[in-house]
Amino acid sequence: MSVKLLTYEKLAQCETLVMGVFSDVREVPVGLPKSMEGLIARVREIGDVTGKADEVHVLYPEEKGSCRLILCGLGEMKKWSLPNVRKALGLGAKRAQALKSKEVAVWLETFAGESGNLAEVAQAAAMVGLLALYQYQELKTFLKPEDKTTAPKLFLASRNPEACAKAVDWGEIIAEAANYARTLANRPGNKVYPQILANEARLLARQYSNLAVSVLTQPQLGKAGFGALTAVGSGSSHSPVLIEIKYHGDKPKAAPIALVGKGITFDSGGICLKPSAKMEDMKFDMCGAAAVLGIFKAVAKLKLPINLVGIIPAAENLPSGTACRPGDVVTSLSGQTIEILNTDAEGRLILADALTYALRHKPSQILDMATLTGAVVVALGHAAIGMAGNDDTLAAEIHAAGEESGERVWRMPLWDEYRDLLKSDVADLANIGSKPGAGTIVGAAFLEKFVGQTPWVHLDIAGTAYGDGGSVYAKGATGVGVRLVVEWLRKKLAFSSL
């Protein structure tokens, strides 16, 4: 699916036109056929359309050949904000899709108002439109054509399309990368296991010449000392792998940024078996890995001037006669011994080895993404990513990128009181805390043991990686992390997309 720019003279020719409406602006935008202008003026005058945020109205002009109108409320223009615009665009696009529109045009100026942020709106419209119209249906082979949801063609209309072109391209690339990550995560566990995930990374590298992929298999992992990763994968017939992906956009000797993504392709909990209710959602336990691949897809296409290395530890966490047990002690790649008190706290184990391996690349910074804890949902719900780290500057950069991208983060403390909870009687540390509570922070404190002095941020995406659908996303994976990290890199490089 792609986005095309139109001049505003052609916007009324599309089947469905999406417009923004402000609650404190009564004037109807000039440029529509008279019948449409009159209809909008009439519903505004009688109060059926107020322009309040989250309002969505569908209008049908009587004039033959007129397009369907979807009016999206934006609230007061004097309180204009990009998050409000993104939400309104998502609601409008989803309504158009529900109406089975074949073509959708978004009139950009009506969402920008007097803000002067036309390029930002164009980028948001391209990105949000593609995210909102995404559907995962590749396994629905018996749907009748009339029942299958097909994404409409997306057009962005503006009086000045040339000024929006670069921003639209940027938004389209990021959205396509996020949707790629969503597709990987939406596939069930029998379709994506560690070896398949490795093949996806290889396929991505074949598509982009500036990417390179290597994979460490079970024998290599065992020989090299990846004791934590191999322990987690020991109960499955699909052996674990470590995927390494590199992007070179800067000088060869420039230190890379390391991105580490948790790749548990299915998490049953292992011997500490999870309850059966909602266990099918544990196919999403590799959303961190999917996000890393999505980020590399975007960066490779954007050709950003930076060096990146991605590390994805991939395993299935299943119970069997060969699975690791509560009470087992394993030796991680770092040499630290870990007492496994709960086999369902497996993500931090595979990340421990992956973070240690990332240090071998001497990165300037490390960022890891993982559906690590259910506790983050208790703390933050589904509105924000839980963040912890050892570097205030890096954490502030990620927070700022979250506000800009719409994938917001909230930092949690890493104090000695939490670190002390990881003490073990028989090993260097335990994989869960000795007392209940603060599960997200304790998980981050565990990971901190494996990054040394390198600036590091941990993102717990368990509450934001998938859901039941919202103003932008369909039910399933969200691709969270792709927009956030690409925006962080853009700001770091002072690279303008507008």
CATH number, domain at 88?
A: 3.40.220.10
Look at residue 467 and tell me if it is in a domain: yes
Residue 202 catalytic?
A: no
Provide the residue range defining the domain that includes 31. Answer: 3-160
Burial 202-216 (b: 16+ CB within 10 A, else e): eebbeeeeebebebb
Angle at 235 between CA 229 and CA 241, to 5 degrees: 35
DSSP bridge partners of 388: 458
In whole numbers, what is the pLDDT of the chain averaged over residues? 94
Question: Given a cut of 80, is residue 366 above it in pLDDT?
Answer: yes
Residues 185 and 78 both lie in one domain: no
Residues 458 and 350 both lie in one domain: yes
Q: Which residue, 363, 371, 161, 206, is CA-closest to 282? A: 371
Question: Given a cut of 80, is residue 150 above it in pLDDT?
Answer: no
Residues 128 and 187 both lie in one domain: no
Question: Given a cut of 70, is residue 144 above it in pLDDT?
Answer: no
DSSP β-ladder status, 476-477 and 466-467: antiparallel
Last residue of a domain, one of 112, 133, 160: 160
Q: Provide, rounded to the nearest whole percent, the portion of the chain with pLDDT above 70.
A: 97
Residues 483 and 372 both lie in one domain: yes
CB 428 within 8 A of CB 334: no
The pLDDT-based confidence of 434 (bands split at 50, 70, 90) is: very high
Least confident of 152-156, 163-167, 466-470, 490-494: 466-470
Residue 219, pLDDT score: 97
Look at residue 447 and tell me if it is in a domain: yes
Residues 367 and 417 both lie in one domain: yes
Question: Given a cut of 90, is residue 62 above it in pLDDT?
Answer: no
Residue 16, pLDDT score: 93
Question: Given a cut of 70, is residue 145 above it in pLDDT?
Answer: no
Residues 201 and 129 both lie in one domain: no
Look at residue 172 and tell me if it is in a domain: no
Sign of CA dihedral 471, 472, 476, 478: negative
Residues 188 and 108 both lie in one domain: no
Residues 138 and 187 both lie in one domain: no
Residues 358 and 256 both lie in one domain: yes
124 or 28, which is more confident?
Answer: 124
Contacts of residue 488, Cβ cutoff 8 Å, sequence gap at least 6: 397, 398, 401
Residues 145 and 185 both lie in one domain: no
Per-residue pLDDT, averaged over 422-443, amounts to 97
Q: Would you give the end-to-end CA distance of the chain in angstroms?
A: 22
- Helix locations, 187-320, DSSP H: 194-207, 218-224, 227-232, 287-302
The pLDDT-based confidence of 346 (bands split at 50, 70, 90) is: very high
Question: Given a cut of 80, is residue 331 above it in pLDDT?
Answer: yes
DSSP bridge partners of 260: 311, 368
Look at residue 168 and tell me if it is in a domain: no
CB 366 within 8 A of CB 395: no
pTM of the predicted protein model: 0.95
Residues 373 and 480 both lie in one domain: yes
Q: CATH number for the domain including 270? A: 3.40.630.10
Residue 327, classified by CB atoms within 10 Å of its CB into exposed (0-12), middle (13-18) or buried (19+), is exposed
Residue 348 catalytic?
A: yes
Look at residue 166 and tell me if it is in a domain: no
Least confident of 31-35, 129-133, 318-322, 385-389: 31-35
The pLDDT-based confidence of 297 (bands split at 50, 70, 90) is: very high
Question: How many structural domains are present in the chain?
Answer: 2
pLDDT tens column, 181-228: 999 999 999 999 999 999 999 999 999 999 999 999 999 999 999 999
Q: Return the CA Rg of the chain.
A: 24
The pLDDT-based confidence of 34 (bands split at 50, 70, 90) is: confident
Per-residue pLDDT, averaged over 19-34, amounts to 86
Residue 272, pLDDT score: 98
The active-site residue out of 44, 87, 348, 408 is 348
The active-site residue out of 274, 301, 411, 492 is 274
Per-residue pLDDT, averaged over 231-235, amounts to 98
The pLDDT-based confidence of 338 (bands split at 50, 70, 90) is: very high
Look at residue 173 and tell me if it is in a domain: no
Residue 29, pLDDT score: 80
Which phi and psi (to 5°) does residue 474 adopt?
Answer: -75, 170
Look at residue 498 and tell me if it is in a domain: no
Look at residue 394 and tell me if it is in a domain: yes
The pLDDT-based confidence of 468 (bands split at 50, 70, 90) is: confident
Residue 131, pLDDT score: 95
pLDDT tens column, 155-184: 999 988 888 999 999 999 999 999 999 999
Residues 365 and 471 both lie in one domain: yes
CA max distance for the chain = 80
